[in-house]
Amino acid sequence: MSATRVDPSTVTPVVPWTRRVKGPVLTAFAGSAALVALHFHDPHQSGSWGFCPFLTITGHPCPLCGGLRAMNDLTRGRIEAALLSNAAAVLILCAGTLLIVRWFVRRARGDSDAVLMTTPKVPMTIIAVLMVAFTVYRWTPWGQWLYQD
């Protein structure tokens, strides 16, 4: 009998399930821990989490101003208040949650190369433009309802 030689470069190593899902699980845990912290340490108290440097310098809210208050409101089930604090932050949380779930599922099914999010230029440019538009709109008299201090 002759032994069959296998080229080591063509063999895909088997990555254990626990190692494959480690990244998504730790990411979800960190996000959940942040939400728990925001639930118990109320950001509605001015300065309780520090101050936004952009808001302090310019007097205008940055794209994420109100995001901590929005997350606190979500943990308390106040969806309308969360959207009024920062609608973009609520949408980012929803999108991030979906991305983490997708990442976990892909990793759990065996794709050890799956990542949280790829960064193609066109979608990232669109997101950046939308965030700038959201921010500028919040500065106008018509968009002030999107920033409840």
Angstrom distance (rounded) from CA 34 to CA 100: 15
Indicate if the pLDDT at residue 2 is higher than 80: no
Residue-wise pLDDT for 44-81, tens only, equals 988 899 998 988 999 888 888 899 999 999 999 999 99
Angstrom distance (rounded) from CA 110 to CA 113: 9
- CA proximity to 97, closest of 49, 41, 30, 40: 30
Query: What local confidence, expressed as pLDDT, does residue 126 receive?
Result: 93
- The rounded Cα 133 to chain-centroid distance in angstroms is 19
Indicate if the pLDDT at residue 116 is higher than 80: yes
Q: How confident is the model at residue 142 (pLDDT cuts 50, 70, 90)?
A: confident
Indicate if the pLDDT at residue 88 is higher than 60: yes
Contacts of residue 29, defined as CB under 8 A and 6 or more positions apart, other chains included, come to none
Q: How confident is the model at residue 149 (pLDDT cuts 50, 70, 90)?
A: low
Angstrom distance (rounded) from CA 79 to CA 85: 10
Contact 67, 85 (CB under 8 A): yes
Give the CA distances from residue 81 to residues 45, 67, 100, in Å, rounded to whole numbers and listed in that order.
15, 11, 25
Which residues on neighbouring strands pair with residue 17, listed in sequence order?
Answer: none
Q: Read off the pLDDT of each residue in 12-30 and give the average, rounded to a whole number.
A: 90
